[in-house]
């Protein structure tokens, strides 16, 4: 997400970060580069113009000229203006209504409405809400069936509907059932079209009038760039939207939609869809996204995600074992790989780390997820004794393990070397040598891999 924009902005800011003072010419040059970076990211032109004007005005004003570190102050100005462009503050879902609170999902066909409905239902379920979902797409039987499957996968109630029914009648029946079951939230998935048309707008306006939802969320594919903002504006002109869900953000290296939608529509982005799995939905925090775009990471989101997705009981047992025995075996190594899989893609983890853009560049041709899956498969091919006592694994055992995992012996050797390195690091952590280990690690990393202090 935002990979191209982060790289380009990083070069602009690097050129002025160390300056003792900034001249008007340097600010003008940096502003031109910022403008090009934003246009390449497919940010809407009016948004680019407004953003650059605000940055230049502040940079040429008292804030920069009186600063002891103008380069850092310019970075702060850019970060603050990015945050403002993205919406300024986090705007949570408004569920302050007599239950069930109704959420209406709108958007074009293919934007990811049904998938986002399931993701949002799971997110609400994790907030201890009882959720019912219903499909008002009476034109595509596959859409109704898809929502039924998605609802089953995330463990929420699905209210049935069928092709040919009136969407308003479906929604009213679902609302009556939600009240009967004392549900907290009813999410209504609506029909989409390939383009905005009058029939679609009339139908969804009728649904809105019948339901009076507390939230009307526009679901839009971020990979359509500034077209996403234009489509959102078309919906906002006809429907009282309360927020936006940007989907397929993990596949968008430009970031233009995220930077355009808020200013073009006046509606806040509330969630980001950052992957295909049901748990890959993130609350949108403008300040955190701004620091991520500027390559400074998003440690708060990473910590929250870790707390939510890592098995805390297993983590505590592992920490206790490591502290007590100072031992680390292949079973432990496998468990760490499984926990890493639960965290999502390596790209999503790296982009939340300071300096993550440089790390992603270093690993651009490496399929980290494939390597993790292969590691787990190799360890699964070992006996329980071999996992507990890795030093038993010699040549003949390696050949058997490789055959069982469907890999070459060379890949088993590679895993064992990786395990030995990790085991040494774990022993240092258990012995209280974390700071020493990090210094040693920094010395072995390529330039730019460690974050700036």
CA distance 293 to 78: 11
Checking 364-370 for CB contacts under 8 A at 24+ apart, the result is 369/341, 369/345
114 is in an annotated binding site: yes
Give the model's pLDDT for residue 286: 85
CB contact at 8 A, 5 and 41: yes
Is position 193 annotated in a ligand binding site? yes
Q: Residue 245: phi, psi to the nearest 5? A: -115, 120
pLDDT at position 431 is 62
Catalogue all structural domains in the chain, each as residue range(s) with its CATH number: 3-85 (1.20.120.140), 101-294 (3.40.50.300), 303-444 (1.10.260.30)
Residue 187's pLDDT is what? 95
Residue 71, C-beta contacts closer than 8 angstroms, at least 6 positions apart: 13, 16, 17, 18, 19, 22
**Residue 424 is labelled as binding a ligand:** no
Q: What is the pLDDT of residue 303?
A: 56
Is 136 one of the annotated binding-site residues?
Answer: no
Q: Is 191 annotated as a binding residue?
A: yes
406 annotated as belonging to a binding site for a ligand: no
- 283 sits in which H/E element: strand 281-283
Omega of the bond leading into 354 within 30 degrees of 0 (cis): no
Q: Residue 65, annotated ligand binder? A: no
Is 112 marked as binding a ligand? yes
Q: Is 66 annotated as a binding residue?
A: no
**pLDDT attached to residue 444:** 40
Consecutive 10-residue runs of the chain (453 residues): their mean pLDDT? 67 67 77 82 82 85 59 77 85 87 88 91 93 90 90 93 90 94 93 75 87 91 73 80 85 66 82 85 85 63 59 70 77 80 62 53 60 88 90 91 91 88 73 50 42 41
């Amino acid at each position: 997400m935002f990979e191209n924009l982060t790289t380009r902005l990083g070069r602009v800011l690097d050129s002025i970060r160390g300056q003792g003072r900034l001249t008007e010419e340097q600010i003008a040059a940096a502003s031109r580069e910022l403008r090009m970076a934003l246009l390449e990211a497919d940010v809407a032109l009016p948004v680019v113009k407004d953003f650059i004007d605000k940055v230049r005005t502040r940079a040429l004003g008292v804030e920069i000229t009186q600063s002891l570190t103008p380069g850092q102050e310019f970075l702060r100005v850019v970060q603050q203006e990015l945050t403002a462009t993205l919406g300024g503050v986090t705007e949570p879902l408004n569920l302050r209504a007599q239950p069930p609170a109704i959420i209406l999902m709108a958007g074009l066909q293919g934007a990811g409405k049904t998938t986002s409905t399931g993701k949002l239902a799971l997110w609400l379920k994790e907030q201890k809400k009882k959720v019912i979902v219903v499909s008002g797409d009476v034109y595509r039987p596959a859409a109704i069936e898809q929502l039924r499957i998605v609802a089953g996968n995330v463990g929420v109630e699905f209210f049935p509907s069928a092709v040919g029914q009136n969407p308003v009648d479906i929604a009213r029946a679902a609302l009556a059932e939600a009240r009967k079951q004392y549900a907290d939230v009813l999410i209504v998935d609506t029909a989409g079209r390939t383009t905005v048309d009058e029939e679609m707008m009339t139908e969804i306006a009728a649904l809105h009038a019948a339901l009076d939802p507390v939230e009307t969320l526009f679901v839009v594919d971020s990979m359509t760039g500034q077209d996403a903002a234009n489509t959102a504006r078309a919906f906002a002109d006809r429907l009282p939207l309360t927020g936006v869900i940007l989907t397929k953000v993990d596949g968008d290296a430009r970031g233009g939609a995220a930077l355009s939608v808020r200013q073009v529509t006046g509606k806040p982005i509330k969630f980001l869809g950052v992957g295909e799995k049901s748990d890959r939905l993130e609350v949108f925090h403008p300040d955190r996204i701004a620091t991520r775009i500027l390559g400074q990471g998003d440690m708060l989101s990473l910590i929250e995600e870790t707390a939510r997705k890592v098995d805390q009981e297993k983590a505590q047992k592992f920490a206790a074992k490591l502290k007590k025995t100072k031992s680390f075996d292949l079973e432990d190594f496998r468990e760490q790989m499984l926990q890493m899989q639960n965290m999502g893609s390596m790209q999503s983890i790296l982009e939340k780390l300071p300096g993550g853009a440089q790390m992603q560049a270093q690993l651009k041709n490496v399929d980290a997820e494939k390597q993790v899956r292969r590691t787990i498969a190799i360890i699964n091919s070992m006996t329980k004794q071999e996992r507990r006592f890795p030093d038993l694994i010699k040549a003949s055992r390696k050949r058997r393990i490789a055959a069982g995992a469907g890999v070459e012996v060379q890949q088993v050797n590679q895993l064992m070397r990786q395990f030995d390195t990790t085991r040494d690091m774990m022993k240092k952590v258990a012995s209280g040598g974390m700071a020493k280990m990090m210094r040693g690690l920094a010395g072995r990393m390529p330039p730019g891999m460690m974050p700036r202090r």
